Structure 1
Amino acid sequence: MIARSLIAGCGASLPPRVVTNDDLAKTVETNDEWITRRTGIRQRHIADEGMLTSHLATEAAQAALKDAAERSGVAPEDIGFVIVATTTPDNIFPATAVRVQAALGVGGFAFDVQAVCSGFVYALSIADNFIKNGQAKAGLVIGADTLSRIVDWQDRGTCVLFADGAGAVVLSATDKDNPRGILSTHLYSDGSFYDLLYVDGGPSSTESSGKIRMNGREVYRHAVQRMSEVTQEALEKNGMTPAELDWLVPHQANLRIMEACAERLSFPIEKVATAVTHHANTSAATIPLALAEMASDGRLKEGDMVIAPALGGGLTWGAAAFRW
């Protein structure tokens, strides 16, 4: 009997071009000390012209499929769906996910999810339910964004934060005897805070795709509060205390946000993933990128208990609790 879905493999993709804080200081009024002190970010990856969200998503998915085959015996022909969480699709339609599906040569169904920086957690929750309901025995969940395309490079308050990348996981069905897998997901939104973080364009309102606009102080406040609350909710749902958690893998928006969340939860910062320093904020890609990095360098071990909270424009927020 299917009890839950298991993260069977993971993969990542980053554009080769690295832009440091000193590089940004050449084009906008800022400096490395200011960016590092306020955000913890030291560098970011930026896609070159012609590199699309689907390219990054496909590369991350290929790496995840390879990892799943080697680690869990899940084959590409087992994949029953592809879900891409993205704010920056290749086109308004069709979904970027169908382009990725075609590139991978897998079957089933494919669609995009738009919940901005919470997108991966939303997509993971949807995928977990598909598998628990028996609609597929395995599937791909991808977070991918090219936020550099919608950044205002003259706005030093936002252009230093955002970057490009993709991360992917393969989910597969597992039975009740397996303690590993996704234990719970928790999703929320509140549209009354729409104007705190948004893009000032779109096909229904303007002829331009627009640029990112953010009330940084208020987004910071909500991120700390909501991500801490939803992490605590996930712990309580699974009858755990912070001491029983091996890793907190939050959305990588700002190091100060993550440090504040850890402090609220009385959780050691040494057990908080901090890929933001070298990835910056890649929106829906931050959590799967961090997971792939941690799995690759050996920090994330089989059986580790993980909670991954996120907050994004909308406002949307949520968390996933799983045993690796």
Structure 2
Amino acid sequence: MSIAITGTGSYIPSQTIKNSDFSDHQFLNLDGTTFNHENTVIIEKFKAITGIEERKYADKKYTASNLAYFAAEKAIEDAQIDKETLDYIIVAHNFGDIAYGQKQGDTLPSLATRVKHQLEINNPKCVAYDLLFGCPGWLEGMIQANAFIKSGIANKCLVIGAETLSRVVDDYDRDSMIYSDGAGAAIIERKENSGEILAHESATFAIDEANYLFFGTTYNKEINDSANYIKMYGRKIYEFAVTHVPKAMAECLDKSNISIDEVKKVFIHQANEKMDEAILKRFYKIYGKQMPEDIMPMSISKLGNSSVATIPTLFDMVKNGKLENHGITKGDVVIFASVGAGMNVNAMVYRI
């Protein structure tokens, strides 16, 4: 018997926002001054660095818990389990439910409770709670679920990552082009002849790094807007990520006693294409290796950065043959890795 991912599901919103849709935006510097370049130049540079061509926004009538529910339904169906047998529902997010046109997040009740309600699960011993761990939240939820099952207090868990970041962006901040919406879910349970979690690693760096991602006011100093929006120090995050994520991945892989040559895919948080490539190159350099060309599936060009949803949606896509030139088969060893607000880093080695 091993602890395995037995079902996955994802929800990709239907509304596509292309880079060209930002052509008329007024992008400003931190101090409120205008850029010296035209928007076409800003957008071209953005695409070259992040790899993002378009992103997905949720329908106006849906919130993050709705997206989470849609992904959860698919994961439960894929795992072919009775939803009433779930012991835990863990929902990772950052901002709660934000109604379209609103800026305040709603976490009362928790998103996990809302998902359980939408799933119409009657069993009161199915415990539902939310997890705030930045972009690595879904993966940290998987690590917690693994611990619950390993300890014997649970048999089946549903872990979801859901976010509507499009509703917490400052339209005057060029970083607003990075963020998107979506949800991904997985069923994890103890089962024979299934996959196996081989090792995991987590860390929080909270001295100088704690506020690399934060809530801040709009860059437009001329409007009366007291709302807060997602903000980040991009260069500092990049330097942090390329330093600490490869180390966490290597420590995790070493714990698993698996050779790097056995790793078939690395499912890394889809934050920035150049950054992810740099992380993987440094990871392989630790072992004196070159990064294989087909090792890193990427969805960011079409889906953008949906925070906690990026890894589970990407994994679900590859698992179901929905990402060109990428696939996984039973017995393959893969690595999950993420970095985000906190600053938090985690990794997991998993055999399909």
Tell me the TM-score normalized by structure 1. 0.91
- 1:300 paired with 2:307, answer no
How many angstroms does 1:105 deviate by? 2.1
- 1:181 paired with 2:199, answer no
How many angstroms does 1:162 deviate by? 0.7
The residue identity in structure 1 corresponding to 2:210 is Y
**Equivalence for 1:133:** 151
How many angstroms does 1:242 deviate by? 2.0
CA RMSD of aligned residues (A): 1.8
How many angstroms does 1:198 deviate by? 1.3
Describe the SS at the equivalent of 1:166: strand
How many angstroms does 1:209 deviate by? 6.0
Which aligned segments of 4 or more residues in structure 1 are displaced greater than 4 angstroms? Answer: none
Contact 1:234 1:320 in 2 (8 A): yes
How many angstroms does 1:253 deviate by? 0.2
User: Larger helix proportion, structure 1 or 2?
Assistant: 1
Contact 1:68 1:75 in 2 (8 A): no
**Equivalence for 1:77:** 84
1:231 to 222, 227, 249: 249
Contact 1:262 1:268 in 2 (8 A): no
Contact 1:242 1:267 in 2 (8 A): no
User: 1:182/1:46 Cα in 2 relative to 1: closer, same or farther (>3 Å)?
Assistant: same
- For 1:85-96, what aligned pairs fall within 5 Å after superposition? 85-90=92-97, 91-96=106-111
Contact 1:150 1:209 in 2 (8 A): no
Larger-gyration structure (1/2): 2
**Equivalence for 2:3:** 5
Q: Which runs of 5+ in 2 are unaligned?
A: 28-38, 98-105, 218-224, 285-289
Q: Distance in 2 between matches of 1:46 and 1:243?
A: 38
**Equivalence for 2:100:** none
Describe the SS at the equivalent of 2:203: strand
Q: Which runs of 5+ in 1 are unaligned?
A: 202-206
1:45 to 50, 56, 69: 56
**Equivalence for 1:204:** none
Contact 1:21 1:35 in 2 (8 A): no
- 1:315 paired with 2:348, answer no
- 1:247 paired with 2:275, answer no
- For 1:1-324, what aligned pairs fall within 5 Å after superposition? 4-29=2-27, 30-31=39-40, 32-69=43-80, 74-90=81-97, 91-106=106-121, 107=123, 108-156=126-174, 158-174=175-191, 178=193, 180-192=195-207, 193-200=209-216, 210-264=228-282, 265=284, 266-297=290-321, 299-324=327-352
Tell me the TM-score normalized by structure 2. 0.84
How many residue pairs match? The answer is 310
How many angstroms does 1:179 deviate by? 7.0
